[in-house]
């Protein structure tokens, strides 16, 4: 890197994502030190395996839905989609006696089908994603209870080993969630469609006038988010070896949105990165696990989760405040540098 490039890089200042993620990393470090000093069981390999495995299902959804939020859209139906997809898998394996592989594919496919319906309504017919997916939230929960209002358990050894087994010493669910984050990061950073996601999130009308495939991109992101919700439902069913239609996936849409906003993704779209979402996922997992180890009452944990959502909103506001100002500062610095040269 030559001297001119170094000077220009210093003049650009800190990116907004770096500022937001450093605040979150600092908060995560404080949490780890605090819980580690108050519980001897916290800083152990087995505890971190349990911590990350228990949070695998929400991590899968957050890793994919982050792309949808960067594109300026949102899917609030994922909690009910998780329950619906898990119930489809459970019925396929217990009532229809299909192999576990077919049951898993049916669960993921049903989630993707819900995402396709959301995508058609929002991307092609122009409906509000908040209203459409909130309506779908109720429709799917009611449909799941209509299909089977009682709990289903005993899904078979194969599915149970998927949710509770290990491969090469690493829990299977941890491998799945890490793959989800890596694929999302690769799509966003290495593909042309990943650049389209940012362009659409910043200004969808300008992206449309620039002949970018706005509607296909949004439809694909809705389908991917639905499929992720389906995979999350299968993972939860495998982990619990059963499906409860009334409670499975309840309020997971808020958990996923909290993780995404905590990770520095702008709710208005156009800004964010997967590494920040991954950090936020670990942060909430550490918070939940640490409070449990300290025997904190459940209602206090609920308060902590609510405060995390408020913290996420403040980070979103911080990014919105700093973003335009840092960009303006960078442009002025570049113009001054060009004028001097």
pLDDT digits (tens, 9 = 90+) for 63-78: 999 999 999 999 999 9
Contact 151, 245 (CB under 8 A): yes
Can you read off the two tokens belonging to residue 276?
Answer: 């920040």
Which backbone phi and psi does 166 adopt, to 5 degrees?
A: -130, 155
What span, in angstroms and rounded, lies between the C-alpha atoms of 20 and 89? 39
* Alpha carbon of residue 304 to chain centroid: 19
Q: Which residue has the tokens 């009334």?
A: 246
Residue 153 host element (H or E): strand 152-153
- Rounded mean pLDDT of the chain? 88
The predicted-structure confidence for 276-313, as pLDDT tens digits, reads as follows 899 999 999 998 899 889 888 877 877 877 787 777 77
What span, in angstroms and rounded, lies between the C-alpha atoms of 20 and 263? 8
Distances (CA, A) of 135 to 7, 139, 141: 52, 6, 10
Distances (CA, A) of 217 to 157, 207, 281: 39, 11, 25
Which backbone phi and psi does 167 adopt, to 5 degrees?
A: -125, 120
Looking at the DSSP bridge assignments, the partners of residue 153 are 242
Can you read off the two tokens belonging to residue 131?
Answer: 């209203």
Burial 105-129 (b: 16+ CB within 10 A, else e): bbbbebbbbbbbbbbbbbbeeeeeb
Would you state the pLDDT for residue 341?
A: 67
Can you read off the two tokens belonging to residue 186?
Answer: 């690769």
* Alpha carbon of residue 113 to chain centroid: 19
pTM of the model: 0.87
The predicted-structure confidence for 95-124, as pLDDT tens digits, reads as follows 999 999 999 999 999 999 999 999 999 999
Parallel, antiparallel or unpaired: strands 170-171 and 166-167: antiparallel
């Amino acid at each position: 890197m030559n001297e001119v490039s170094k000077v220009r890089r210093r003049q650009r200042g800190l990116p907004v994502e770096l500022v937001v993620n450093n605040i979150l990393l600092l908060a995560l470090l404080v949490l780890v030190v605090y819980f580690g000093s108050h519980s001897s069981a916290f800083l152990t390999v087995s505890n971190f395996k349990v911590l990350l495995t228990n949070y695998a299902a929400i991590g899968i959804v957050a890793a994919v839905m982050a792309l949808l939020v960067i594109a300026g859209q949102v899917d609030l139906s994922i909690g009910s989609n998780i329950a619906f997809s898990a119930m489809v898998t459970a019925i396929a394996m217990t009532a229809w006696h299909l192999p576990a592989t077919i049951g898993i594919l049916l669960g993921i496919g049903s989630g993707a089908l819900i995402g396709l319906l959301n995508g058609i309504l929002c991307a092609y017919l122009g409906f509000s994603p908040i209203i459409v997916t909130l309506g779908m939230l109720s429709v799917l929960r009611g449909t799941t209870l209509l299909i089977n209002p009682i709990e289903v358990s005993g899904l078979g050894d194969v599915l149970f080993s998927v949710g509770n087994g290990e491969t090469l010493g690493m829990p299977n669910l941890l491998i799945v969630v890490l793959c989800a984050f890596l694929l999302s990061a690769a799509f966003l950073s290495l593909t042309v469609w990943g650049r389209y996601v940012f362009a659409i999130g910043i200004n969808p009308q300008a992206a449309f006038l620039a002949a970018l495939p706005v509607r296909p991109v949004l439809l694909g992101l809705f389908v991917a988010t639905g499929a992720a919700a389906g995979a999350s439902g299968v993972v939860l069913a495998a982990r619990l070896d059963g499906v409860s239609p009334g409670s499975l996936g309840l309020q997971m849409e808020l958990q996923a949105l909290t993780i995404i906003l905590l990770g520095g993704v702008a709710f208005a779209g156009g800004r964010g990165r997967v590494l920040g979402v991954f950090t936020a996922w670990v942060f909430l997992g550490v918070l939940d696990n640490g409070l449990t180890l300290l025997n904190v009452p459940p209602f206090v944990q609920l308060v902590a989760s609510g405060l995390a959502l408020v913290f996420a909103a403040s980070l979103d506001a911080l990014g919105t405040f700093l973003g335009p100002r840092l960009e303006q500062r960078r442009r002025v610095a570049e113009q001054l540098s060009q004028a001097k040269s």
